[in-house]
Amino acid sequence: MKLLALPLLAFALIAAAPEPPVPAPLPINAPADVVANPANQLVLQLSNGGTVVIQMRPDAAPNHVARIQQLVRQGFYDGTIFHRVIPGFMAQGGDPTGTGEGGSKLPDLKAEFNSLPHLRGTVAAARAESADSANSQFYIMFAPKQSLDGNYTVFGRVISGMDAVDNIAPGEPPASPTKIVHADLGDHSAPPPRPAEVPAAPATPTPATTDGSTPGN
């Protein structure tokens, strides 16, 4: 009986060991102190004429929000396109190459998976197969998709301009992609928009010569 008592006691001790604490779920709406900081709002002016305002959540993904703020203050997102847009699912952008394979020159970020769900308007970091491969790309959800929850870093949600998101040109890639004309923060700390490209004036035609020589030689 003594030989049986020892393993039974050990099993009882293991079974009674406390489980690791489960982090408390985050509130769906941003806390007041997060909202109070204007730098936590991402403002995207789109080429379809709309303006999208995203409330970012440093309480949920501090490093991802800091990366977005850093890149916006460099003018990184200006002129980039939404290169993968699937109606009823999501619109993905933030790649300077427009191919879905690019990013910034900064190191990739470690995942900050959290309890914020993928709802309509949710904004999260796009990544490759590795969980720690997010860099500059992000996506905006057109509709809820619970299967993504906990597998991608959610860092914000659209609070204004969802109609402009709905009007982002579809395609993988779109034939005429929607651009981010200018990205700014609520504190207006981004550089001013880049001037629109002005087409070069057509060259003045040179009078034809009659002897076959090149003018100016």
Mean pLDDT per 10-residue section of the chain, whose length is 217 residues: 46 50 80 98 98 98 98 98 98 97 97 98 97 98 97 98 98 98 98 68 45 36
Q: Is the alpha carbon torsion for 128, 130, 135, 138 positive or negative?
A: positive
Residue 210 lies in a domain: no
Written as six digits, the tokens of 79 are: 């002129």
List, as own/partner pairs, every contact residues 186-189 make where C-beta atoms lie below 8 angstroms and the sequence separation is at least 24, other chains included. Answer: 186/37, 186/38, 186/39, 186/40, 186/41, 186/43, 187/38, 187/39, 189/39, 189/72, 189/73
Residue 168 lies in a domain: yes
Q: ∠ CA 187-168-142 to the nearest 5 degrees?
A: 85
Closest CA to 123 of 73, 189, 53: 53
Residue-level pLDDT at 194: 78
Residue 41 lies in a domain: yes
The total of structural domains in the chain comes to: 1
Residue 15 lies in a domain: no
CATH of the domain at 136: 2.40.100.10
pTM exceeds 0.75, yes or no: yes
Q: 139 is in which domain, residue-wise?
A: 30-185
